[in-house]
Structure formats: C-alpha cells, structure tokens
Structure 1
Amino acid sequence: MALKHCGTLRLKTERLVLRKFALTDAAAMYKNWASDPEVTKFLTWPPHADRDVSKAVLEDWVKSYERKDYYQWAIVPKDNGDEPIGSISAVGMNDDVEMIHIGYCIGRKWWHQGIMSEALNAVMDFFFDKVEANRIESRHDPNNPHSGMVMKKCGMKYEGKLRSSDRNNQGICDADWYALLRSER
C-alpha cells in the first residue's frame, strides 16, 4: 500500500484556516515570521533579508502545489483577516513505509497560545484520514523544548535523541524525534 496523495487541501479548525500560500502572502510572511531571527533560530533556513526572499520562496511553493504529493499550509487565524502567521508542511515522506515528516514555524507574537498544536492536530488528522499515513513524525533541537511540547500535546511519542545528527542555524545539533502511528490514535 502507498500513501494516497491528494495535495494541499484547505483545512479548518476552531480558530484557524490552513490554506495554500499565495504570492500575495509575501509581505505577511516576511513581517510575521520569516524575518525574525528568534523564529528561525532552530530552523534550517536563515531569516529572510527582505520581502524579495519571501516572494521567491512563495513562488517555489505556489508552483509546487501542482504536485499531488506536496503539502504546505499557511496558518491563518480566523480573527486575523486572511493574513498568515506561520507555516506547517510535510518536509519529508517515505511512501514505502507510509511515513510523513512534519515541520512547522509560527511568528513569535503567536507563541504559547496553542495555535501550533491546533494546526499540527489538524494536519495529522488529514494525513492519517485522507492520505492514509501509517506514521507521522517530527523532530526538534533539544534546545528548543517548546517545539517538543507541541509534539507531545498532539499525542506524538518520544522515540529518542540522535546525537549530532542534524544542522540548524545554531550549527550541528542533536535531534529529539517524536512520532505517532495510525494504530496509536
């Protein structure tokens, strides 16, 4: 059996709309999270130097929506107009074992409000129910424990630490791995 890819579909939660990005989101992306060194501190890409960088990234993402195996959502609070405050996506996949690896980031102004947990829960439900994933996994730098707390809150189980196995804007780092299997839901 393989993953049943269907592309990035619009998802709704109590407080959020998760939708495809548009080129018109460049200013909000730059302002709300992509230019902030605190947001990107533990990520694999540097803060965007200007809106043109955000626009170039969005051009690539928008083109990729043509693929059925591409999943990249803008996180938009329902009370924030249509302005995105972060992103959540499938950053890795393995069809052979029906696994999807999720990555996410959100603007500092929206930290510690349960927004990312709400978004991750919706995306996990989508991947289990629509795409029929067997395993959903994610990882974080142990120096960024709040990311791990999001994973735990969404039911993911800690699987272990891989020492000096990853690289982010802080350099080579350890990675704490979490996952949830469809059978554990």
Structure 2
Amino acid sequence: MKHQGTVILRTPRLVLRRLALSDAELMYTNWAGDPAVTEHLSWPAHVSAQATAEYLSTVIPGYAANDCYLWAIELKIPGEPIGTVGVVGMDETIGEAEIGYCIGRPWWAQGLMTEAASAVADFLFSQVEIKRLVIKHASDNPASGAVARKLGMRHEGCLRQGIRTNQGLEDAEVWSLLTSDRITV
C-alpha cells in the first residue's frame, strides 16, 4: 500500500478534512453528543464539548503518521462538520482497509454519508492502492448497510455477535468491495 495519510477530499457537497481541536463544540453538538448517533457504535455519546475536546486531543497527533485516515465530514455550505469517516482497521498483508463512519441526525437520509464514503473509497483504491474495502456494521443498523450497498459492495454475511456496540454484543453484517468489483461496476 502507498500510504498518504488524511488528505483533503472534495465532493459536490462536502469537504473531507482532518479534524481540528476547533471542531470540538460542533462535533459535540452535531453528532458526538447524540446517543441516537452512537447507538450502534463502539464508543458512547460524549457527555460534554470538553469531553469531545479531550477526545480530539488524543486523535489529532495521529495525523503525523502517514497511515492515519480519519476525516471530518464538512458541509461546504455552511462550512461546518457534521460527522466523520475513516479507516478503523487495516490488514496490509492482503491490502484491506475497513472503514467506519457516523453522521449527525439532521443529515441522515440525504445521501451525504454515501457521498463521503464514496470519496474515501475512491481515494483508498486509487491512491493508497488497497485491494479490498470492508464495512462491518450492526445488523440493527440498516442505514449503514444501505451505504455499503450504494457503494456497490457485496454482502459477505453475518457474524453472529460479531461486534460490540453501546447495545452490547450485536450481530454484524460484513460487506466488501474488491478492486476487480470496481472495474466491472
């Protein structure tokens, strides 16, 4: 793989960029402090903007590594962060990257997460030269499956009690997209 780190990516409605400490207030307000957003994630809703700032202070130094891929999803207009998308697992031996994502409730069901995830997938395949992209999500979170389906991913199956979320152990749906799938899509 040809690691490049978290570079700015642009789509028609979004700018994907590195998180900054100045994002703490909006990150907390727009998504990280909302239990409905974090219901099927591995981390609990933040209790305050200060907790979000503390989280950001642990994440931001990671950008120094060229294999760190974590983007703030920012609406071009009005220019505020509304979620995140990033690589949550990587297996260099097979060229695999697993992505995870979340977006604030006011922006659900508008195609924004698919737009962001598609830009990340394009970047990972074309620039980092991954061979396999994976999404794993709780079975009770069909919206994440819809994103995977819209990306042209294939459903590989269900891992029974295969993911730990704020709900405890949940079944996990696994999706993948290979370089060869992208050529034929």
Residue 133 in 1 paired to residue 130 in 2? yes
Q: Residue 116 of structure 2: which of 116, 119, 135 is its match? A: 119
The equivalent residue for 2:32 is 34
Could you tell me the TM-score, scaled by structure 1's length? Answer: 0.97
Query: Structure 2: which amino acid aligns with 1:160?
Result: G
The equivalent residue for 1:173 is 170
Sequence identity of aligned pairs in percent? 49
The equivalent residue for 1:163 is 160
Residue 9 in 1 paired to residue 43 in 2? no
**Could you say what secondary structure the match of 1:28 adopts?**
helix
The equivalent residue for 2:60 is 62
Query: Displacement of 1:28 after TM fit?
Result: 0.6
The equivalent residue for 2:22 is 24
The equivalent residue for 2:145 is 148
Query: Structure 2: which amino acid aligns with 1:47?
Result: A
Query: Displacement of 1:99 after TM fit?
Result: 0.3
The equivalent residue for 1:46 is 44
CA distances 1:38-83 after superposition (whole Å, capped 9, x unpaired):
00000000000111111111112210000000000000011122x1
Could you tell me the TM-score, scaled by structure 2's length? Answer: 0.97
**Could you say what secondary structure the match of 2:177 adopts?**
strand
Query: Displacement of 1:165 after TM fit?
Result: 1.5
Query: Structure 2: which amino acid aligns with 1:11?
Result: L
CA distances 1:10-42 after superposition (whole Å, capped 9, x unpaired):
000011000001100000100000000100000
CA distances 1:73-117 after superposition (whole Å, capped 9, x unpaired):
000011122x10000000000111000000000000000000000
Kindly report the root-mean-square deviation, in angstroms, between the aligned alpha carbons of the 2 structures: 0.6
